Chains A and B, each alone.
Chain A
Amino acid sequence: MIKKLARSIREYKKASILAPIFVSAEVVIECFIPLVTAQLVRNIQNQCDILTIVKYGLILIALALASLSCGALSGNFAAVAACGFSKNLRHDMYSKIQGYSFANMDKFSTPGLVTRLTTDVSYVQMAYMMIIRTAVRCPLMLMFALTMAIVTSPKMSVAFAVIIPVLAVGLALIIKKAFPIFKKVFKKYDKLNESVQENVSGMRVVKSFVREDYEKKKFAKASDEVCQDFTRAEKILALNSPLMQFCFNVLMLLVCFFGSQLIITSSGADLDIAGFSTLLTYGAQILMSLMMLSMIIVMITMSLESANRIVEVLDEESSIKNPENPINEIADGSIVFDNVSFSYSEKAERQSLADINLTIASGETVGIIGGTGSGKTSLVQLIPRLYDVGQGSVKVGGVDVRDYDIETLRNQVAMVLQKNVLFSGTIKENLRWGNENATDEEMERICRLAQADEFIKTFPYGYDTNITQGGTNVSGGQKQRLCIARALLKKPKILILDDSTSAVDTKTDAIIRKAFAEEIPDTTKIIIAQRVSSVEHADKIIVLDGGKIESMGTHEELLCISPIYRGIYESQTKGAESDED
């Protein structure tokens, strides 16, 4: 895992190395400061002249400045390295996700991916900054300060040998007890917030059913539970600060008690008053480092889960890959389904599509109709290879879609998705998704074809009108027509409309279909619709039911042979017919 993440350091390797180097230098200098200080105090005690004080003072100031610069530099490099690393990590994840197939996307939920790209990366960034700075600083500080303390007074360092294990064991126990509770309670806390989210977005339902009190009780219960667990964990964690104080004070007392005896008995040879305060300074440094170290361990362990989630994204291999010798030319818009079966997951009990055999000639118009969940969308998604078939094969232009270069295939098979999205930006920018180099004239021509030109021109800024995120400032029908225009700009050999005119009125719908027939006669058109009127003039209508082709034929034929088709037709026209009578 670490190896995988480390790959994203790249150009920030230099900063990543410099940060620990400077921090090490800072530690060394910092450890010398108490030593020089002791010398200074000693000189003062010995009533030296002012000059000596000035000399030591200047040395100390120089050391302080050096430590300051090293500290500042390491801080700087650590920030550069960690933020750069996280930038690269985000870039790598984002690029990886761009290569995902639909099946990969289904595996991770959209909010899941967003969290991984944002929250998880920022946790890892924090952990990384700690690793190259604090995690270097603390153990080093611990070792240096300990060495210095031993050098200052070997006899007194026994006191450290007593206190350090006490603190270490104490901290370890606290972590061991509190950490699992925290892990659990954080999950509960997330759930609590999710339920708030649910409540906020479902507020109309809550109020309509007058369920405010019910929701209040539900929330209070969950919140109390979270509070209880948090309190339990925090209470354990609260031991940290008294423990630390205890250790430091005991150390101080030990040094005071035994140190003074040592000073007196050795007449200041083994230890003197100056050395005595030096010892205390080192003691503080040692214990502080231990404390920090325990915090680092907790933080890094916590970020491991985030790191894991990131690696999951980086590790996921696209289930759809370009073939080795891809074909870059598509002969025509003919489509053949040869004994195709398909399911979204291997575990699924029921196949989404089974035994599909289908031949569509280039330039034909094909309608697909069927109830919710009958497999209409699944069927057409196999043509631009958004999913791969389970069994059998799908051929476009006589060649298995798996043999084409994916980009070539998808540029020739334009699909207007059912759950379609416009992006924030101008209408022009959105249309250019279909063809980057489209001229204004071309866009207008295509929009006229999709019956979008007229309403675009009524906007104050015309084609430069800004679309808000999710396309909320155009109506459903307008959005659908923009999406069709965007797909048409690709000049595809096959055009698939997945319920793409449901919000367009029947008359406009008919005009669009007529325009298709006249303007792009050679393009194969596949139209999925709920409305019979959208497909009734197609060359061929496929009725899907439960993932199988129930029947196939023209409108008239189906009215005779397909009870499902007849049912759909009647449910949509019954009233109208009686009116006309």
Chain B
Amino acid sequence: MKTNVKAKAHLNENNNTASGTKAAPPIGVIFRILKLLFKEYKVQMIFVTACIVVVSLASTIAGLFMEQYILLINDGLQLGLDAVYIRLITLVTTMLCIYATGWLASFIYTRVMAVVTQSFLNSMRKKMFLKMQDFPIRYFDTNAHGDIMSHYTNDIDTVRELVSVTLPHLIQAALIVCSLIFNMLYLSAWMALVVALASVAMVMAAKGIGGKSAGNFIRMQRSIAKEEGFVEEMMNGQKVVKVFCYEEKSVEKFDKINDELCHDATNANRFANILMPIMGNIGNILYVLVAFVGGIIVVSEGIPNVSLGGIEYMSTIQKIAVVVPFLNISKQFTNNVSQVSQQINSVVMAMAGAKRVFELLDTEPEKDEGYVVLVNATRENGEIVETAERTGLWAWKHQHGDGSITYTELRGEVTIEHMDFGYVPEKQVLSDITLYAKPGQKVAFVGATGAGKTTITNLINRFYDIDDGKIRYDGININKIKKADLRRSLGVVLQDTNLFTGTVMDNIRYGKLDATDEECIAAAKLANADDFITRLPEGYNTMLTANGTNLSQGQRQLLSIARAAVADPPVMILDEATSSIDTRTEALVQKGMDGLMKGRTVFVIAHRLSTVKNSDVIMVLENGRIIERGTHDKLIEEKGKYYQLYTGKFELE
């Protein structure tokens, strides 16, 4: 975390503008999702769309039969049941057929859509994760982890809602509304006009209330985030709260934030809650208006019915056969309009979520232009020859422009020449660093927080690229080395031990995936971790959860050293790797590590000077420059900064 925070502090300064501008999410992301859906699930989506069309038509066409149906009843009342019985059966059977087609289409499309939605989400999730693995470290240093996580939780959820619920609903409702408009015009243009006017009112109401509701929901989200932040901080510091008897004060502070949240949440839910009754009852009022106009049409003589069928003068019965179904249709119409308006909230939220998902997908991955690769090698007649099996001897395979290949033995020589670096252009963190680490040497970095110790290691394994100067590894510029191979040749143990869910054995094996149990145990013994592991309830098979919280920090550090040891890398970087281990155990660990790393290069960063004392060369860093270098004895003799540090006249960290 230390390194992250630091880099973040550097980078945040000019990152603010990028994340700070929150423009309204463009409707474009919806189209992008649709495009993706239709691209990846072409057949299914065309099929689904066809089915939705069928469903919408089925549910509206049947309404038109009502006109015939009422005429039929009227005829029946005059002529008797038997006269119209056949007509009735034909009518009902026809409707049944139409409905049945609707059921079938609905059955098929909801099922297909369920599969498509899940598979689409799965592919989005995987795409995000796969993409993210190749992001540069800078991305993780500059984005809050909680923020990255919410791509996988909140944002994907809004997309799920959009794809599985909102989109089909909207399409269906829109189709139904369209065909209903057609139906209404077919029946009576006069009444359709009334409906049109009322639906404008409905859309306005939905926009007004829905807009207010959406605004309040956003405010509520902010309040929730604030409350979560507070709760998290206080829960983390709960033991301090107890020690200082600060309980009452803490409740007081919490209540204030809690009240705010309650206020915002009430407002947000209030508007969401009243939207439904308002929309529903506007529908009712519309119904009355239509009935009123319809009544006038029925009652008054001489008003022609204007419809798509043309202008005609109808008998009263004919008029009734128009007005009554129309009333039903208008009801159906308002129901659908209100359904659409209720989706507004989720569309707005999905747009915001989808936009963030696409932002992640559009992020540039880490570039790698390296072409020098690391291979296993053997020596034949003094020549280095590439082999497949692990021999303990590695070589850099250098493919030249003219097609010739040369091999350079991996020896672990690292040279840095006049290197400058800054996380952001305005602030240089390292200046003019020059150092030579000969194979087999132990090189230590000492210096205060912010002096640039960790930054140097970040540059050697190319988590960040240098601004000026050169870093050479066995004489090869590291920019030419393939990043994966460069990193494979460097074992890194960080102060922040990150263990993964799995057994202790799995965690050690992370260093070398094909390591046998024996190799893992040997590495654990080397790191002095075997002792505590065997005392765990299930030894090496003990499950570690949530970043190994059931282990102490010191134990976790021992495990991560074992993990690096099993990887058996030619060059090792130990960044405050033993800071939480007591000095006696540390001495034992060091002995083991020294044995392992015999003849290999080791970089050590520590603020505990006893850790670095036996290094071949110690670099004292201050403000990004090397101010002293030499062995412990030499530096003590020089009576410079290191001497002051060692004798306790100066503070580190």
Contacts and interface: CB of A to CB of B under 8 A. Distances in A.
Interface stretch (B65-73, B175-183, B351-359, B405-413): B65-73
A554 B150 CA distance: 55
Given A68-B278, A113-B235, A246-B103, A118 B265 contact: no
A472 interface: yes
**B interface: dominant SS:** helix
A200 B240 contact: no
A220 to B, nearest CB: 5
Given A193-B149, A234-B164, A50 B106 contact: no
Interface residues on chain B, size class = 35 or more
B186 interface: no
Interface stretch (B113-121, B341-349, B388-396): B113-121
B613 A100 contact: no
B362 interface: no
Interface in B252-298: 254-255, 258-259, 261-262, 265-267, 269-270, 272-274, 276-278, 280-281, 284-285, 287-289, 291-292, 294-296, 298
B238 A110 contact: yes
Contacts, number: 434
Nearest to A373: B552
B15 interface: no
A71 B81 contact: no
A242 B488 contact: no
Given A242-B106, A410-B245, A505-B652, A44 B501 contact: no
Given A75-B277, A86-B265, A195-B501, 8 more contacts: A71-B280, A86-B262, A208-B461, A260-B73, A263-B73, A263-B76, A373-B532, A423-B233
Contacts of B238: 97, 100, 105, 110
Contacts of B134: 212
B294 A44 contact: yes
B415 interface: no
B648 A506 contact: yes
A352 to B, nearest CB: 13
B419 interface: no
6 contacts: A64-B288, A82-B269, A193-B149, A200-B140, A223-B126, A264-B81
B202 to A, nearest CB: 13
A67 interface: yes
A226 B124 CA distance: 13
A571 B586 contact: yes
Nearest to B637: A579
Contacts of B95: 252-253, 256
Given A241-B106, A263-B76, A568-B584, A216 B284 contact: no
Given A113-B235, A207-B137, A260-B72, A75 B244 contact: no
A264 to B, nearest CB: 4
Rank and list the top 8 A-B pairs by shortest CB-CB distance, nearest first. A71-B277, A75-B273, A202-B498, A506-B648, A505-B651, A227-B122, A79-B269, A421-B237
Interface string B489-526: 01110101011110000000011010000000000000
Contacts of B265: 79, 83, 86, 125
A200 B149 contact: yes
B139 to A, nearest CB: 9
A229 B328 CA distance: 41
Interface string A213-237: 0111001100110110011001101
Interface string A176-215: 0000000000000000011111111111111111111011
B585 to A, nearest CB: 7
A419 B243 CA distance: 12
Contacts of A41: 291, 324, 327
Given A200-B140, A219-B129, A568-B582, A61 B288 contact: yes
Contacts of B76: 260, 263-264
Interface in A1-47: 26, 33, 37, 40-41, 43-45, 47
